[in-house]
Structure 1
Amino acid sequence: MPYHKDKQQAFQAAQQGTMEAKEWYENLVRDRADYGSQLKHLKQEVNEAFEQINNALEVASETQRVQLEKFINDLQTIVDEVNKGV
């Protein structure tokens, strides 16, 4: 049972990290004076989410793996969009 628990916890951490990165991206305001600070924090959130996803992929079930790949695509879209705007 501990293995299943670790698998679920790893997946939930990846899911939460991705959600937090998305939230930061959605609240990013280019015209604000602290845009650079916001961007730095977003980058940190995205990097942490990628790390959590990679950790989860090591123990993921096939169903979780499919969802984790979607998280990767979502994060890559954020990175691409931010890079277009910079």
Structure 2
Amino acid sequence: MPYHKNKQQAFQAAQQGYAQAIDANEKRVESIEQPHYGRELAHLTEEVQEAYQQIDKALEVASEHQYSQLKQFQQDLQSIMAEIDKES
């Protein structure tokens, strides 16, 4: 049973990290052409890095369903970072 609990906790941490990265991206988008854009971009980058770490940890113990969701989280985050690369 502890294994299942750890698996669930790892997934929830990854899910929360992903949600925080998505929120940070929304704030970044809202701040385009604002003086604090650089700060929002730095915050987003930090949140994405943390989310990647949490997702990687969760992938190690994920169930099949969780694994596919975690992979989707990774793809979404990669898309956000690719969009930023295009902007610069």
When the two structures are superposed, what TM-score results if normalisation uses the length of structure 2?
Answer: 0.94
CA distance in 1, matches of 2:36, 2:46: 16
Distance of 1:76 and 1:59 partners within structure 2: 22
Shift of 1:31: 1.1
Which residue in 2 is equivalent to 1:13?
13
Where does structure 1 lack aligned partners over 5 or more consecutive residues?
A: none
For residue 70 of structure 2, what is the aligned residue in structure 1?
Answer: 68
Give the helix-richer structure, 1 or 2. 2
| 1:17 CA displacement | 0.6
Number of residue equivalences: 86
Question: What RMSD, in angstroms, separates the aligned Cα atoms of the two structures?
Answer: 0.7
The TM-score normalised by the length of structure 1 is 0.96
Q: Where do 5+ consecutive residues of structure 2 fail to align?
A: none
